[in-house]
Amino acid sequence: MFSKRAFIHLLPLALLIVMLLAACGGGSSPSGSSNSNNIDYSGTITIWHNWQGDYINAKKAIFDAYTKLHPKVAIKLVHQDDVIAKSIIAIKANNGPDIIDYADDNLGKLASSHAVIPLDDYISKGFVNSTYSKPAADAVTFNDKIYGVPETVEALTLIYNKDLVSPNDVPKTSDDLLNFAKTFQQQHPGKYGVVWDILNGYTAAPFFYGYGASFVTPDGKAHLDTPKALAAMNYINSFRPYLPKQITYDAASSLFTEGKAAIMLNGPWAYADYAKANLKLGFAQLPIITATNTPAKPFVGVKSLWVTKNAKNVALCTDLIKFFTNKENQVNMVKTTGEIPANLAAQDDSTIKDNPVITAYASQVKLGTALPNTPYMSALWTPLQQSLTAMWNGSQKPEAALASAQSAATKGIAQITS
């Protein structure tokens, strides 16, 4: 679904040793958890993840710092290509990891299958809400219980080519964005004012949620045929004369990379490729929706750490994931990986604020909404793609396309609940 969402290495790798003083972010931080003196700091903790390349070095440095503080603790990192499915199968067989790291939209599936456990006895809601950005805190909350801690976040924002548009001319409202798409194309034949992956529910979400619509609610109801959803669909449809008829993520990204599009809606995973193309890049927040006078609200994807029901030492696992996501460790990690920290204090650190890429996306995240972690969301992606495709190629009007999507999504949800 989100093959392009995995972060790409943004900055040159410099092996950074995490300072041992970061230990203050472990069990000793105010979290409503048991006192760290009650934790048995011994045993092996197995973590399943999908980190690759340079990322693993920066993350391993944090775990190495933890084991230096607690020499009787061993941490085993295991890369898995299909983390969620393999975890559920292994945990049902009383095998598998103590901790899982993956994207938040899988939490509902993991919790419903009892693969991961609530951590309210170890981590308070107050700690989560005050330590991490709101979408990140929402992402690790399911059925009003805390299931883990957020690691990094990602969201769409506007990336623009300074050779094609000046910062002052970047559209501020949805009406401005549409008008810019029209006038830029008129003034620059063969080029486009703004491009994005039109046919994807993830990239459509900022407009739907900005118009006040939602895709699905935790009670298992789809909301694709509402007046607010139709307003968003009509807005997206209004770009048809000003974008290519065949528009995909790769097509849109290629246009931007080749200097044939002034603005691209994209996430931090794309920055490295654009930087390699020697583009003079700028960042701007997604526009205010004129009709509602509220910002477009992108989905915020949240890499999170959860403790499984097989964990033999839940208190120790909880202490470790808190340590992993404290300010000092996140600051050091993202200096290497270029990821966007979920920790608010890390986002506000002066050394992080010097990075315009991280700062731009961190600012956008604060205006976003957590990627739904309900298991019902899985029934929405295909109907959304089909409806957007039908609307874009003209085979269905927006209202009919959304009605079809609502019907298909409702049937898909019913299969999940049966």
Torsion over CA: 8, 10, 14, 20 (sign)? negative
Where residue 54 falls among pLDDT bands split at 50, 70, 90? confident
Q: What is the pLDDT of residues 303-354, one digit of tens each?
A: 999 999 999 999 999 999 999 999 999 999 999 999 999 999 999 999 999 9
**First-last CA distance in the chain:** 24
Would the pLDDT of 76 be above 80?
Answer: yes
Fold equal for 20-154+301-370 and 157-299+374-417? yes
Would the pLDDT of 90 be above 50?
Answer: yes
Would the pLDDT of 31 be above 50?
Answer: no
Where residue 35 falls among pLDDT bands split at 50, 70, 90? low
- The per-residue pLDDT for 417 is 85
Torsion over CA: 84, 88, 89, 94 (sign)? positive
Virtual CA dihedral for 349, 121, 376, 308, nearest 10 degrees? Answer: 90
Per-residue pLDDT, averaged over 76-99, amounts to 96
Produce one character per residue of 321-359: b if its CB has 16 or more CB atoms within 10 Å, e if not. Answer: bbbbbbbbbbbbbbbbbbbbbbbbbbbebeebeebebbb
> Beta strands of 199-245 (E only): which ranges?
216-217, 221-222
Instruction: Answer for the pair 401, 409: CB distance below 8 angstroms, yes or no.
Output: no
357's enclosing H/E stretch is: helix 356-365
Among 391, 170, 168, CA closest to 265: 170
User: Global pTM?
Assistant: 0.89
Across the chain, mean pLDDT equals 91
CA gap 131, 379 in Å, rounded: 32
- The per-residue pLDDT for 178 is 98
CA gap 388, 226 in Å, rounded: 15
- The per-residue pLDDT for 8 is 34
Helical pair 54-69 and 314-324, crossing angle rounded to 10 deg? 120
Instruction: Answer for the pair 371, 103: CB distance below 8 angstroms, yes or no.
Output: yes
Position 210, amino acid: G
Domain coordinates in residue numbering, the chain: 20-154+301-370, 157-299+374-417
CA gap 103, 336 in Å, rounded: 20
- The per-residue pLDDT for 10 is 35
CA gap 70, 35 in Å, rounded: 16
Residues 6+ apart with CB under 8 A from 116: 100, 107, 110, 147, 148, 306, 307, 308, 309
> Which tokens belong to 97?
């990891």
Where residue 291 falls among pLDDT bands split at 50, 70, 90? very high
Query: How many Cβ atoms from other residues are within 10 Å of residue 12's Cβ?
Result: 8
> Which tokens belong to 229?
């959803």
Q: What is the CATH number of domain 20-154+301-370?
A: 3.40.190.10
- The per-residue pLDDT for 18 is 35
Per-residue pLDDT, averaged over 91-118, amounts to 96
The residue that leads in pLDDT, 22 or 133, is 133
Per-residue pLDDT, averaged over 103-111, amounts to 95
- The per-residue pLDDT for 22 is 37
Q: Give the three-class secondary structure for 350.
A: helix
Q: What is the CATH number of domain 157-299+374-417?
A: 3.40.190.10
> Which tokens belong to 57?
């070095």
Strand 192-195, strand 261-266: pairing: parallel
